[in-house]
Structure 1
Amino acid sequence: MTNKLYYEDSRIQSFQAKVIEQKADYVVLSETAFYPTGGGQPHDLGLLNGIEVTNVEVINGEIRHFLTYPLPENTTEVNAQINWERRFDHMQQHAGQHILSAAFEQLFGYQTINFHLGKDTVTIDLNVSEVSEEQLTEAEQLANQIILEDRLIETKWVTEEELSNYNLRKETSLKENIRLVIIPDFDYNACGGTHPTSTAQVSAIKILQTERQKKIVRVEFICGERILTHLHRKHKVLVNLVSTLSTPEDKIMIATKNLLEQNTRLEKQVADLSYSLLTYEAKELRENADGNTITCIFENRSMQELQKLAKLVINEMPNSICIFVSNNEDKLQIIAVKGNDVEQSMKELIALVLPYINGKGGGNERMAQGGGEKNLTSEQLIEKVISYI
């Protein structure tokens, strides 16, 4: 069995160990400070004799260190270096989770049923369907008070019989090798993760948001250095907004609201002008129509525009069929719309010509459309359609 140095002292950053098993993609060591994935906490990263450790997992009872490439053959000993920035971040987040979960438990009786330590944020799932803003604030304040008090974070190995001596926040199913993480007079929890030695090392806790999922509430938060990273990112966005909108920081919300309202008005004006232009185009097409088949070729027009235009034309020409083709950069698009007095199916008509351009499409009896490759010119495609009318 590998000696688990991360349980002896979570602050170990480097160590030496013997190689007791070596495979093509992993090694097993006599002892290790690399924490393997487990209990909601990700694995450590680092170096073995200068070779990157990419993953650490417990498989078939042994702690396997996966490497970017194998150690030289017959390597008997390694010098190991933990990626301390990553490890300490995980320690801060995991301890912060214990503190915040205990705060919700003590204040409101809400239990944490799931925990996930992600790359950017941490989440806990509470066994309630709703948590108020006031409760979130109160739990956050209590958690940060515990951090400020710089309480010890202790670990202790106990037997199943000894568990009754501790007021565990959550029952454990373990029968042996039970490790407790204890913040005296605040939180007692069975846990196999790594933690700092005092609450002050967590630095701070900030709840970001919540999300309701069926009968639980997911609370997303960050601790320690992640709060500064988050603050720097938000501050940069805020500074850019102040500069872009040319408005003071305390007026950003008002300026943004005014900008959105103005944008809505402009979008309506553009929509009205676009409709007016389409109405004029439709009138011209009707006036220049030669017979009951109206055709036109466009450059880079959207299918939505073609549909609106064709409907405007056909609405006043119930005996006609409207065929439009848009010559786009990399493909041809075609639409066919018929008036109420025309019996032929537009869906069937489009299906007849799409094979010529290796195209796909769909629609109904009244209107159908599709697109495909430029195997034909726009004029040739229209000729194919007309031949089937």
Structure 2
Amino acid sequence: MAFECQRNSYKCEFDSKVLSCKISDNKPGLYRIVFDDTILFPEGGGQPEDLGCLNDSISVLHVEREGDVAVHYTKVPLEEGEHVHMRVNWERRWDHMQQHSGQHLITAVIERKTGYKTISWCLGVGLDNKCFIELDSNKMSLQQLQDAEEECNKLIIQSRAVNVRIIERDSEEFNLVRSRGLPSGSVGPIRVVDMQGVDVNMCCGTHVSNLSHLQCIKLLHMEQKGTSSTLVHFVVGGRVCHQLGRMHANERSLSKLLSCGPEEYGRQIEKISKNQRADAKQNKIYLREIAELTVKNHLSSPCAVESYFVLHRDDADHEFMSVICNMLLPHKILILLTGGGRKGQGIFLLSGKDDKLVSELGPQISAMLEGKGGGRGSRYQGKVQKIELYKVAFEFVKNHLCTQ
């Protein structure tokens, strides 16, 4: 077996010999290496692969399973027959062991207490991520979730042993082991993970040797998936500590920003949202009034240009532009309005009595400001990526009208 040492979940250093090394066909720039044995777990059974290094200098970037062979990928070639020293990225391995053994425990406890079976699971990579199991029912209650979490943590306190055994396919025990079915291509004896008095399950992954190593389990929340299954999200061990630290830091930051404690977050955020809605409503009223005054001032000015009107405001919205266009359109002038910050995204509106002129200039202005637009009749509008070029568009309108 090409990954015999995986029977020992705690082996993190190992000497091995290169059986083959060649350029990978499907992973450009990487070498495909097979050893006579390995301690690097190849991705499978829902658990991501181990990462590590060879001879303390060559990084193993991926490990995958081909039948009963573990294939390693590196950027550096090795000589066939060469002896190498393997080292596992232990922090990654330990995290995966905690989450995977935790999943076995959660699955066994929920099935025993509720009868709901786990039909799939996911181990999110990294301390910032969560794991989940998918149950074959959408009837799981919050009380059942709390009871399952309590039972899991009681078993952790009891320090139940976790043993890995190899059994034969034709043995009596094989038919008693919990399993979701063997993977295609599986051959030879079967590896089982035995949690003392809790669960015996077929599994190829790496696991802790005692439930006390899980430290604790937190079942976070449930999420219905369709009409027949439920996702139960969870974290185990080091991820509980990491996420609690992150949540506490976020809580302190929010308390400072909101000027209140966590128990007042809801009330304070609701108050802020209410004030924001009121301010937005008032701003719309002000913008409408500004639009009306802008047009009146323009029309009453002795210096007003009779053939076009251009205007940019950082805070201009579609309603502001529409008010100006509606008021100026009877005066048969070409109108170009732009809105948005001084740099980046924005909006524009081109309007006039001459539909042909609007349809001709609209796409050109849109391209000038690196945007997309459309329209028909007397209006052409759109969104742009370079609103800071609005002055170029204004000059374009002026020059076009002056040359006609």
Q: Normalising to structure 1: TM-score of the pair?
A: 0.84
For the residue of structure 2 that corresponds to 1:323, the secondary structure is strand
Give the superposition deviation at 1:164: 5.9
Whether the 8 Å CA contact 2:365–2:393 is kept in 1: the answer is no
Paired AA for residue 295 in structure 1: F
Query: 2: CA distance between counterparts of 1:46 and 1:75?
Result: 20
- Following superposition, the deviation at residue 18 of structure 1 comes to 1.9
1:313 to 312, 324, 328: 324
Residues 143 and 205, structure 1, Cα contact 8 Å, conserved in 2? yes
Shift of 1:80: 1.6
Secondary structure, in 3 states, of the residue corresponding to 2:61? Answer: strand
Counterpart mapping for 1:261-272 below 5 A: 261-272=274-285
Query: What 5-or-longer segments of structure 1 have no aligned partner?
Result: none
- State the match for 1:153 in structure 2: 162
Distance 1:387 1:214, change over 3 A: farther
User: Superposition pairs for residues 244-263 of structure 1, below 5 Å?
Assistant: 244-263=257-276
Higher mean displacement: 282-291 or 233-242: 282-291
Other-structure match for 1:368: 380
Q: Which residue of 339, 347, 350 corresponds with 1:336?
A: 350
How far did 1:138 drift?
A: 1.9
Separation in structure 1 between the aligned mates of residue 232 and residue 181 of structure 2, nearest angstrom: 22
**2:226 maps to 1:214:** yes
Inter-CA distance 317–255: structure 2 relative to 1 (3 Å threshold): closer
Match of 2:398 in 1: 383
> Is 1:90 aligned to 2:96, yes or no?
yes
Name the aligned partner's letter for residue 112 of structure 2.
Q
Instruction: Kindly provide the amino acid, as one letter, of the partner of residue 135 in structure 2.
Output: L
Q: Corresponding residue for 2:13?
A: 14
The question of 1:225 aligning with 2:225 is answered no
Aligned to 2:247: 234
Deviation at 1:267, TM superposition (A): 3.1
Secondary structure (helix, strand or coil) at the match of 2:77 reads coil
TM superposition shift of 1:125: 1.3
Work out which of the residue numbers 145, 156, 180 in structure 2 matches 1:136.
145
Task: Measure the CA separation in 1 of the matches of 2:346 and 2:132.
Answer: 49
- Paired with 2:148 and 2:377, the residues of 1 have a C-alpha distance of 61
Which residue identity lines up with residue 133 of structure 2 in the other structure? I
Amino acid at match of 2:199: D
Query: Which residue is 1:126 aligned to?
Result: 135
Distance 1:114 1:335, change over 3 A: same
- TM-score scaled by structure 2? 0.81
Counterpart for residue 194 of structure 1: 206
Cα deviations by residue, 1:308-327 (Å, 9 ceiling, x for unpaired): 23421343456345511449
With over 3 angstroms needed to count, the CA separation of the structure-2 counterparts of 1:345 and 1:125, relative to structure 1, is: farther
Distance in 2, Cα, partners of 1:325 & 1:316: 13
Choose 356-365 or 117-126, whichever is displaced more. 356-365
The worse-fitting range, judged by mean Cα deviation, of 168-177 and 137-146 is 168-177
CA distance 1:139–1:271, shift in 2 (3 Å): farther
Aligned residues with identical type, % of pairs? 25
Change (3 A) 1:308 1:157: same
Change (3 A) 1:16 1:130: same
Q: What's the Cα RMSD here?
A: 3.3
| 1:280-333 per-position Cα deviation (integer Å, ceiling 9, x unaligned) | 2233345459698551232x546x62x323421343456345511449557997
SS in structure 1 opposite 2:105? helix
Aligned residue pair count: 381
Change (3 A) 1:208 1:316: same
Q: Deviations over 1:183-215 (max 9, x none)?
A: 233222211111111111111111223333323
In structure 1, the partner of 2:309 is 295
The one-letter code of the counterpart of 1:56 is V
Whether the 8 Å contact between 1:313 and 1:322 is mirrored in structure 2 is no
Range with greater deviation from structure 2 (375-384 or 222-231)? 375-384
Unaligned runs of 5+ in 2: 24-30
Alignment match, 1:30: 36
CA drift at 1:388: 11
Does the Cα contact within 8 Å between 1:18 and 1:30 map onto a contact in 2? Answer: yes
